[in-house]
Structure 1
Amino acid sequence: MMKNYKIYTAVVLLTLCFVSCKKDFLERTPGTPISEEEIFADPALAARFADNAYNYTITKYVRFNDHRGCVAQASDEAVSGNSEGTVTSLNRGLYHEHSTQASLNDIGDIWKRMYACIAINNKMLEKLPSIPPAPNATVLIFDPKRVEGEMRFLRAMSYFELTKRFGGVPIVDKVYGVNDDINLPRSSFEQVTALILSDLEIAINKLGEEGTYSAANYGRPTVGAAQALKARVLLYAASPLNNPANDKAKWKAAADAALVLMNGRYSLQATYGDILNVPSSPEYIMIRIKGNTPLSGEMMQDFSMSPGSGGAQGQMNPTQNHVDMYEMANGKAITDPTSGYDPTKPYVGREPRFYNNIIYNDLPWQGGKIEMWSTNGGAPYGKDWNPGNITYTATRYYCKKYWPEVYRTVGGSTTLLNYIYFRYAEVLLNYAEAQNEADYKVDDATVYKALDDIRKRAGIQLGANGHYGLKSAMTQSEMREAIRHERAIELAFEDHRWYDIMRWKIGATTIGVPMKGMDVIKNTNGTF
């Protein structure tokens, strides 16, 4: 498989370097192309050329085959009843096969897009010294220092997205000429990671801090974004998948990198339920702000919303496996006999993030109720479930994080659903995980605080031991499981869980087991 990708790279990269990176930009009018010389002789045109790299970054959660699937459906977070190849390959656990099953996917498409972005980065870095200074203007047209920082950051992020999926990949760090040998070998994971970290060190010294960008430039990478990516890269490099010898120094490097961001620049926003739906937040380190997007034809109506409540295809269906991970409001697991969990009332008394992320039967919703029930005789069914129609939920759940109650087709027509690259809660979780592995101590105050801060914001009750549902004096193994659990809940449906499962090497116990749903029967007296 990887040999085929190497050949693909050798054949295509030359085209990427000279054609694809100009595809959307170099046509002034049909038949009147802009030459390369014109572009890099004009700071304004050069800035536009550099900005074209952003067109190849990941910008949405539901990106497979024109919003028909997402990475969450490859993990234990969610499934779908849709019969399209994009979805069925994920449901069957054939993640890599899914690269050939749809026009847009998380394998072949990402491979092409990341190398296209890298091609622009390389060309811009090569030409940067020769671009003339911009004339004096009220608005800075071209800042070569910042542009270099952005190109280094985007190249690092592109290579990281590749290593997440493929491990080592061919390194392309310059523009190749027509006579150059571009039959590039596959570099090791360690070699690619070294390049990523080198680029990020330069980016950290070139990019601006939070608050130094105008509103029009909100969302561009900052120093904080480069530091957050560095922390994530080092965490992945230290994880069992890439660190089989469990080198403690790698974990320490990851912990130290996360700690740099824990200096007051960022903080957890007060509420969790709208984490994807605010235009700005003290928690955001870098996001792709969506702005007001039409409901129709986008992921909201065409992927997330129940057809019985104004949607077209309700394909984002959390599994019972995921639902059962949510603790009670007191922070105890539902399997704990002292938690207060009642299996006859499974949705009562759960921790607040359950209600922020999960839509379940009989939930009050947009002036009515969600109805995902059947009767003992089969039909009739609730309006939000139909076993004979693949556009309805396959598990009797919908995803509230992707379908907030404020978004409806009756009385509303636009949505705001940001793509988060980095937020502060992830930094805290990265630190807790790395610190616990690098230098475990009983009752490590810094590790407990990272988790307590997140769980306090979530609304979990404070326990008598001063922690938010966490046991005191956990062993290293117990703390490891607590941290992994916290990531699964806090970062649910945000493009983390699948990759966490891979880097922890826990697929056998998470995705190697049946994915379950809920069977909801409505009794003749109206109860369930």
Structure 2
Amino acid sequence: MRKVLNILMGLLTVFSIASCNKDFLNTAPKSLYSENVVWSDPALIQTFVNNMYRGIGYSTAINFMSSFVDETDFTPDWGTVDFNKSLLTADRIPQWKDGNMHDNMLTWGNLYTQIRSCNIFFAKVGEAKFDNSLTDGKTMKDRLKGEVFFWRANYYYYLTSLFGGVPIVTKVYGLTDKFNVPRNTYEECIKFIAQDLDSAAYFLPNVQFQSGDNRGRVTKGAALSLKSRVLLYAASDLHNPSKNTAIAASHPELLGYTAEATAARWQAAKDAAKAVMDLGIYSLYKGTPDPAGNNYGDIFLLNNTSEDIFTRFFISKIGENWDAYSPGQFVGPNGYHCWGNNCPLQEFVDSYEMADGSKFDWNNAAHKANPYANRDPRFYASVLYEGASWRQRPTDVVQYDAVNKIQVGQIGNVVGGTFTMMNIGSNPASGCDTRQGQIENWNGTYSGYYMKKFIDPTVDASFFKQECPWRYIRYTEILLNYAEACIELGGAANELEAKKYINMIRSRVGMPDITDTGAALKARYRNERKIELAFEEQRFFDVRRWLIGGEAYTGGYKAQVHYIVPAGTVLTGYRKADGSTWGNPEIVKAGLTGHERVWDNKCYFFPIMRDEMNKNDKLIQNPGY
């Protein structure tokens, strides 16, 4: 009976509350905002735009884009091996689409979701009321319009780079609308992107540093720089009808231009890069020569440099699981209790020139005997290798390495031509940064290298996150874009102009000037771009737009490091008590078994996923899928 009375009392209480406040069921939740509220409040409109900055992620999540091309190897695999064997289908883009890393955001569905947000903004912002006060020389309304023009262009840039021509959507579709829209031509897409970027540049301030809250927002320089990149890519061989016939035989208008006009496109690319240079805002960070490479390495560790055009800032207190910004933890050596992912490949390391500007060559006895001596200073700023000095070891690892030098080798003897690893006590005589060492060996490198670029050596990455910004665009890229356009236009004057800026970049690290001409100059430029922009999300697209997939996706190589000692040697550690090694290491370029690369020309473009094809019967699939 008491239970029944309690229920009745509860119901009476509910009804009495309802009778006192008849609208309590219509109370707006405090954690959500209605559409009308958002577009009547400038602060909420800015928050809406802020979310667009998360729409493309950032490279230094757990799986770098560099591991989807010939720069690095993603140690856990998770599908990258299949990706690099060209095993892409309309049902699966291995690890890219189904992985937990930022490239999962660079997919058809996510990019169009972000574009829809941009289109909502443009449909609603005309109704919004802003005051006319100026910050960094622009009203808030104009600045936000400029930012959204930039982001819509950026999303379409990724779509066209990955898929070719895509549907240009500027209206806001609802859940009940039919979305049957054909792909626009590649040329139409590039024109649309360029127009959006021109609009962005018109509305955006030159800089957004006067107000601390606006640091990291896009600027006029960022818009013009992205236009430089877009037009450079568009002018390249992948979209040139005289070069891409084997790739774009069917529906060439979706994958490139149909009219030659190649010189005009390269001139547009040159002019776009020059427009950024003429702003007079940016310069090479410490352009004076520094053979030690610090002028280069420090760029990626400092909070602000003179060549930053568009950066994303981080604070260490923010955690986002395995999509967090924690590059030190993700790529650091396992001998520092880090995870050892995205390890440089041997073929990438081979691309670094000797300090005198000559090519590194395994057939050169001096080079082979000491492959890490006298190399381009950017190598030492970007890669950790056998014997490279690094930060203080954790306390539990000091017993294996008291001198803080990378250990990726093995110690043993050779019997009958076969290397046999020895023991140090009861443990394998293998470095503590290997997969046979004593420290979390499952996280060890397969390639014999670790990434150093971007990693703050003052932070113990096994416990703390660093706060170094990620640079989406820096001024060096613009100078390289300009040089490439000059080379492609040809002629003595253009080649001299190209070498002026290439040598300016090389001079910063004390590398000698290049003097090549013609095809040799183009090859030197391409290698220079590969090295200077290493791991910065350029190489993936460069390989495709230059139509060199067959060259880049071959092999998959590692450094095999052996110290050979006489049989019977009693090993007391990976190094001797005085810190010296057990002789000179024998370093060999060897195949990375199980991580081989295979190229299929279909992979110059991604497949449109089957679920998207099923939703829109006007879409045409890319060739090979």
Displacement after TM superposition at 1:142 (Å): 6.6
Aligned runs of 1:285-364 on 2, under 5 Å?
A: 285-292=309-316, 298=324, 299-311=326-338, 313-335=339-361, 342-364=367-389
Aligned to 1:19: none
Report the equivalent of 2:60.
62
Decide which of 466, 474, 485 is 1:415's aligned counterpart: 466
Structure 1 pair 51–142 and aligned structure 2 pair: CA distance change class (3 A): farther
The unaligned stretches of length 5 or more in structure 2 are: 1-26, 243-259, 287-294, 393-403, 413-419, 422-427, 566-581, 586-625
| Alpha-carbon offset, residue 81 of structure 1 | 2.9
Question: 2:442 and 2:271 mapped to 1: Cα distance?
Answer: 47
Residue 406 (structure 2) aligned to one of 346, 370, 380? 370
Give the equivalent residue in structure 2 for 1:516. Answer: 557
1:301: Cα distance to partner?
A: 4.7
What are the Cα deviations for residues 428-484 of structure 1, in whole angstroms up to 9, with x where unaligned? 110011111123326733111110110001221x4xxxxx2x1x3x33211111111
Task: Name the amino acid aligned to 1:350.
Answer: R
Cα offset, 1:380, TM superposition: 1.5
Determine if the alignment matches structure 1 residue 204 to structure 2 residue 201.
yes
2:257 counterpart residue number: none
1:210 aligns to what SS in structure 2? coil
User: More displaced, 286-295 or 137-146?
Assistant: 137-146
Partner residue, 2:305: 281
- The answer as to whether partners of 1:442 and 1:475 remain within 8 angstroms in 2 is no
Q: What is the match of residue 52 of structure 1?
A: 51
Alignment CA distance shift 1:306-1:346 (3 Å): same
- Residue matched to 1:475: 517
Separation of aligned partners in 2, 1:98 and 1:427: 30
Q: How many equivalent pairs are there?
A: 482
Task: Please name the residue that 2:417 is paired with.
Answer: none
Deviation at 1:181, TM superposition (A): 3.6
Is the Cα contact below 8 Å between 1:54 and 1:117 reproduced in 2? no
Cross-structure match for 2:271:
256
**Preserved contact between residue 297 and residue 382 of structure 2 (Cα < 8 Å):** yes
Of 205-214 and 192-201, deviating more is 205-214
CA distance in 2, matches of 1:341, 1:443: 37
Instruction: Give the Å deviation of 1:265.
Output: 1.7
Q: State the AA in 1 paired with 2:276.
A: L
- Give, in angstroms, the shift of residue 100 of structure 1: 5.0
Q: Is the 8 A contact 1:50 1:151 kept in 2?
A: yes
Q: Tell me whether 1:76 sits opposite 2:70 in the alignment.
A: yes
For 2:206 and 2:113, how far apart are their aligned partners in 1?
A: 27
Deviation (angstroms), 1:30: 4.6
**Unmatched tracts of structure 1, length 5 or more:** 1-27, 463-467
- Which residue identity is paired with 1:92? K
Aligned partners of 2:159 and 2:411: how far apart in 1? Answer: 48
Q: Which residue of 1 aligns with 2:284?
A: 268
Relative to structure 2, which stretch is displaced further, 340-349 or 92-101?
92-101
Say whether the 8 Å CA contact 1:81–1:390 is kept in structure 2.
Answer: no
Of 226, 230, 247, the match for 1:233: 230
Q: SS at the partner of 2:118? A: helix
Q: Does 1:384 align with 2:433?
A: yes
Structure 2 partner of 1:397: 449
Who is 1:8 aligned against? none
Q: Distance in 1 between matches of 2:271 and 2:362?
A: 35
1:421, CA displacement in angstroms? 1.5
Query: Cα distance, 1:83 vs. partner?
Result: 4.0
Q: Which residue of 2 aligns with 1:12?
A: none
Provide closer, same or farther for how the CA distance between residues 93 and 74 of structure 1 changes in structure 2, counting only shifts above 3 A: farther
SS in 2 for 1:159: helix
Spell out the pairing of 1:164-243 with structure 2 (5 A cutoff).
164-177=161-174, 180-210=177-207, 213-243=210-240
* TM-score normalised by L of structure 2: 0.72
The equivalent residue for 1:492 is: 534
CA distance in 2, matches of 1:340, 1:294: 50
Q: Any residues of structure 2 matched to 1:120-199 within 5 Å, and which?
A: 120-134=117-131, 143-177=140-174, 180-199=177-196
Distance in 2 separating the partners of 1:278 and 1:94:
39
Q: Would the alpha carbon gap of residues 453 and 292 (structure 1) be closer, same or farther in structure 2, given more than 3 Å must change? A: farther
Give me the whole-angstrom Cα distance separating, in 2, the residues matched to 1:320 and 1:177.
Answer: 50
CA distance in 1, matches of 2:107, 2:520: 36
CA contact (8 A) 2:138 2:203 kept: no
Report if aligned partners of 2:316, 2:464 keep a CA contact under 8 Å in 1. Answer: no
Q: Report SS of the residue matched to 1:173.
A: coil
Q: Percent identity?
A: 33
The 3-state SS of whatever aligns with 1:355 is helix
**DSSP 3-state at the match of 1:275:** helix
Deviations, residues 368-418 of structure 1 (Å, cap 9, x unaligned): 1111111232231010012594411011100111434333348x7331232
The alignment partner of 2:264 has SS state of helix
Secondary structure of 1:123's counterpart equals: helix
Q: How much has 1:141 moved relative to structure 2?
A: 11
8 Å CA contact retained: 2:190, 2:230: yes
Query: Considering only CA atoms, is the larger Rg found in Structure 1 or Structure 2?
Result: 2
1:335 shift after superposition: 3.2
Letter in 2 for 1:262: M
